């Protein structure tokens, strides 16, 4: 078997957990955009976790789609930006602010998983 054949067969294979999490993450990311307030705080973190698991399993196509939807959702969401500054203005907003920072950290983790190199098995 040539080196290019083994590389292409490894590239095309993704574990089942990555495929399931990729599909679930894409659904959650789309729903998170459609639901105005609760979407960013409660659904987008779940989409980021599923997207990170999909990217960890090298299911990059779905992971990229989830990442793009999550980033656009965070950029256009007034809830996200309001909760960034909520710690200094509202008394009991720490849980919302934590979920907002978790969204941002989830996007960073997804970027890191996207750019990592796949290790090929030794012949």
pTM above 0.85, yes or no: no
**Summary mean pLDDT of the chain:** 84
Spatial neighbors of 26 by CB under 8 A, at least 6 apart, are 47, 62, 65, 66, 69
Helical (H) or strand (E) element with 101: helix 94-115
At 43-54, the pLDDT tens digits run: 999 999 999 999
For the chain, what are the domain ranges? 16-115
Spatial neighbors of 120 by CB under 8 A, at least 6 apart, are 6, 7, 10
Q: Tell me how far apart the alpha carbons of residues 86 and 79 are, in angstroms, rounded to a whole number.
A: 10
Closest C-alpha among 71, 73, 72, 52 to residue 62: 52
At 85-123, the pLDDT tens digits run: 765 566 777 777 888 889 999 999 999 999 988 776 666
């Amino acid at each position: 078997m040539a080196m290019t054949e083994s590389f292409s067969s490894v590239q095309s294979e993704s574990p089942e957990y990555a495929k399931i999490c990729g599909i679930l993450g894409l659904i959650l990311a789309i729903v998170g955009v459609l639901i105005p307030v609760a979407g960013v705080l409660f659904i987008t973190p779940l989409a980021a976790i599923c997207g990170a698991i999909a990217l960890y399993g090298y299911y990059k196509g779905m992971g990229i789609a989830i990442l793009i939807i999550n980033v656009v959702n965070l950029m256009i969401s007034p809830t996200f930006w309001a909760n960034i500054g909520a710690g200094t203005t509202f008394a009991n907003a720490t849980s919302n602010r934590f979920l907002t920072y978790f969204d941002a950290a989830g996007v960073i983790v997804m970027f890191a998983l996207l750019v990592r190199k796949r290790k090929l098995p030794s012949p």
